[in-house]
Structure 1
């Protein structure tokens, strides 16, 4: 697999992998705690909160990774922003659907759902910070020549030597 020329691609891939692992852990812990606090309804509420947070947080990273596939194309910028904006609109529509579907469900235990949702969002923020702090990313996406004698000389003092 060739590496992407876009410096954000490895960061986003790492974030999505770590987020998937942490989401699985939060789902297990949330299900256990939710069950201990509020029985079966607490279990399902915690799982719903963790899954909703994971889906919403994953859509942005995935949409940017998908959009980065068009890097180098003449229409990269409009394609990129179209895909990312489409992801945000998708999140808004899914949020409204989830809100209306889950609002009147008898199995939702509000506090358990809320704590699971907030814990998932906070875990995602911690993952973002840790990954960004550990990644070494170039400041600009350019390649510098490796041989200093390969380019044109702008320093006239060396010509006389």
Structure 2
């Protein structure tokens, strides 16, 4: 119960996450992931060529493509669904995850038994690309300035 000499403080009003702040977060995260994967691709191609020749180049290119599908679609699906209801966002993100798994299985089955690419280079580029992208997403999320509530 408030005392008569107190004035009520302005109460914050809950509303949907600030669209500008969320858009800035996802735009920055997607840009950082794309730049990081471009750098991983270049380094992977150079190191793959040095250690495994043409097979290493193909392994690096395929690994970078898989890492891009995994990392890029996650950020993109979250960005596109950030203004939706939580249930819709869950459906979109889970659906994109399922689609990525199907694409990965199809790609691995198609590449099984092929000898035109280096499997160790492929695996190294995928691991570095995906783990680095997760680290970048985490850093971008921690640095984001998205308010929980906004005053009227």
| TM class, shorter-length | 0.7 to 0.9
Q: Tell me the TM-score normalised to structure 2 length.
A: 0.79
Shift of residue 32, structure 1, vs aligned partner: 0.7
Structure 1 residue ranges without an equivalent (≥5): 146-161
- 1:79 aligned to 85, 88, 91, which one? 88
Shift of residue 48, structure 1, vs aligned partner: 0.8
Say whether the 8 Å CA contact 2:54–2:117 is kept in structure 1. no
- CA shift digits 1:21-66 (9 cap, x unpaired): 1111111111011001010110010111111011111111111111
What is the aligned partner in structure 1 of residue 62 from structure 2?
A: 48
Structure 2 residue ranges without an equivalent (≥5): 1-16
What is the aligned partner in structure 2 of residue 88 from structure 1?
A: 97
RMSD: 1.8
What is the aligned partner in structure 2 of residue 15 from structure 1?
A: 29
Q: Does 1 or 2 have the higher relative contact order (CA < 8 Å, sep 6+)? A: 2
Question: 2 CA distance for matches of 1:96 and 1:126?
Answer: 25
Q: Tell me the TM-score normalised to structure 1 length.
A: 0.75
Say whether the 8 Å CA contact 2:58–2:117 is kept in structure 1. yes
Shift of residue 143, structure 1, vs aligned partner: 1.8
Runs of 4+ in 1 over 3 A off after TM superposition: 6-9
Structure number, greater radius of gyration: 1
- Number of residue pairs aligned between Structure 1 and Structure 2: 135
- 2:135 aligned to 117, 122, 126, which one? 126
Secondary structure of the residue aligned to 2:30 is helix
